Amino acid sequence: MRNHCLTYQLQQTLFIITTIMLIVSCGSDKQTRAMLEKAEEMCETNPDSAYQLLKNYSDDIKKWNKSDRMYYKLLSIKLSDKCDSLNTNEQDILDIVKYYEKRNNKHLLSNAYYYAGRIFYDRQEFDQALPFFLKAIDNAESNDYHLKSVANSQCGYVFMYQDLYNEGEKCFKESLRNDSLNNDTIGIIYDIRDIATVHESNGDYRKAIDCLLKAHKICQSQNDLSLMHSVEAYLASVYTKIGEYNHAKKYLSNSLKEIQHSDSSSIYSVAMNLYEAMHNDDSTAYYSKRLESVGKIYAKESAYKNMTRINLRRGNITEANRCFEQFLIFSDSIRNITATENVARINSLYKIQKKENENQRLRNEKQRLIFFLILAFLSIIILYLMYRDNRNKKREAQFREKELYEKYSTLRIAKDEMELLDKIKINESEKIINDKKIYVENLEEQVSKLKEALNVQTITHNEEKLLNSPTVLRLQQMAQIGKSASSEDWKDLHDAFNADMSDFINGIRAKYPQIRNTELNICLLIRTKFSMKEISNLTGISLQYLSMIRSRLSKKIFQTDGGAKDFDRLLFTI
């Protein structure tokens, strides 16, 4: 500890000396540039000091040349992002981007693109942010692995926000590749954790756990306790979701030993959810109480919900009422936030789609223009050839006209005779055909009735067999005790349907080929007559969100705007 204090004092002393030297030497453009470059070097290692250094020169910036002023503004935005106080002035960053687009400096241009993306991302204008992140990647210097990594990560977050998990995973893997090339261990850990988030969002909890264990091993090798505890808390959360509570307690106990204030809300939330799943009211109440003071809005909502339930069970009506009132307050806040985020997400998707449609329209117009030019050229050539051939054909036509007229007269007489014979034959054939049609229709009606009776009997037998299958019975038991289904359980359910009612899955996929696994699992559970509460327990999805999914699927599968219950009824028609 003493050595640490001495090192810190030494760093502060060196910083003060450096600042004084730079202040004295800033009498020329060259010295100003040196100060700015020194501030950029300090961005990663000591951003607070670098930010303060730039702030000392805020009054002198008007005296500098434009190049140094733009460099100063870019560094100010960069440092405000590093210090979690991002300057979101849109016009400033767009002016900087426009300036460096006219300069031959890939390093500063790619940084300008990146922080333009960060500003639009912070404002949830993802359709504006994504192109800037992509430009930052394209314009980054070949060895600027750090910028490529963070830009790819930001692209991944944009795609994850839009529920485009596959695209998000590609970006996170590219970020991991760049951090690996840069030997950035901390970045590698964050990249692996982001990939784990993709797997968790897809419901593939085992893959998420494998990624987190890999990140945990790297944390141990680096002896980074803060980051390791964060990964351990995430591991505990995923193990809780799949019901492996012993593993969850093992990793949670480590993360609870030393909690950073910034991580306290998430770690206490994991602890509360774990003990709630284990039906341990004392521990659930303890961590819920801790979240009451340090939790974020979502954590506090869950905490007050748990404390309401526990106090009601214990007969503490007054405290239960207080907690329930707080729960309602935070629930309303979350609903407002969710509504705002949903509107922003819809607007973002709409703008991205609109921009893509506009680009496609321009490409189509260009292709049409090329096509019409080629067509016009070919038309001129064809018209000339047609004109030349037409003269020759006219002469031939006049000669053949007389010959054809004579042949026509002969053929007309023969045709009249043939029509008379055909008429006689047709009358005889029609009577035979009508008799055959009546006979065939009678046979088809009998076959149709037999098929319908056979199909009804087969469907009833197969449905009864499926409902009594070991897989469905096991899932019913799990739903009754509030346990979530694992990936193996879902696979068994799919296998059971494929064995006994394969037409149901095929019918859904035929109507909606893009259906996701989670949505298909919900359809299978409804078809096997699980209640909405049981489906919520098995999938880990709230009843309200289940209703939204069913309403959306009603439109995707049956092209109707009916409600969730209408969707349930229509499923039984497949």
Residues with Cβ within 8 Å of 518's Cβ and at least 6 positions away in sequence, in order, are 203, 539, 541, 549
Quick one: pLDDT at residue 441? 61
Phi, psi of 278 (to 5 degrees): -85, 0
Quick one: pLDDT at residue 294? 84
Quick one: pLDDT at residue 213? 92
Alpha carbons 257 and 249: distance in angstroms, whole number: 12
Task: Confirm whether pTM is higher than 0.95.
Answer: no
Q: Which of 467, 462, 480 has the alpha carbon at shortest distance from 531?
A: 480
Which amino acid is it at 248?
A
Phi, psi of 242 (to 5 degrees): -100, 10
Quick one: pLDDT at residue 541? 93
Q: Are 348 and 120 in contact (CB under 8 A)?
A: no
Count of CB atoms situated within 10 Å of the CB of 491:
12
Alpha carbons 138 and 379: distance in angstroms, whole number: 43
- What the block records as the tokens of 21 is 């030297």
Count of CB atoms situated within 10 Å of the CB of 460:
10
Q: Residue-wise pLDDT tens for the chain (574 aa)?
A: 333 333 444 455 455 445 544 444 444 567 778 888 887 878 777 777 777 777 777 777 778 888 888 888 888 888 888 877 776 678 888 999 999 999 888 889 999 999 999 999 988 888 899 999 999 999 999 899 999 999 999 999 999 888 898 999 999 999 999 999 999 998 999 999 999 999 999 999 999 999 999 998 998 888 878 888 889 888 989 999 999 999 988 888 888 877 777 778 888 888 889 888 999 988 888 888 888 888 888 888 898 898 899 889 888 899 888 988 888 888 888 777 654 555 455 455 445 555 555 656 777 788 888 888 898 889 899 988 888 888 888 888 887 877 777 777 777 777 777 777 777 776 666 666 566 676 656 655 554 444 444 444 445 788 888 899 999 999 999 999 999 999 999 999 999 999 888 899 999 999 989 999 999 999 999 999 999 999 999 999 999 999 999 999 989 888 888 788 888 998 898 8
- What the block records as the tokens of 248 is 């969850």
- What the block records as the tokens of 430 is 């029609």
Quick one: pLDDT at residue 24? 43
Quick one: pLDDT at residue 114? 93
- What the block records as the tokens of 549 is 């999914």
Question: 122 in helix, strand or coil?
Answer: helix
Q: How many CA atoms lie within 13 A of 195 on its CB side?
A: 22
Alpha carbons 422 and 28: distance in angstroms, whole number: 109
- What the block records as the tokens of 349 is 């998707």
Helix axes 470-480, 532-539, angle to 10 degrees: 90
- What the block records as the tokens of 392 is 């020759």
The 3 state secondary structure assigned to 295-316 is CCHHHHHHHHHHHHHHHHHHCC
End-to-end alpha carbon distance in the chain = 71
Alpha carbons 276 and 253: distance in angstroms, whole number: 16
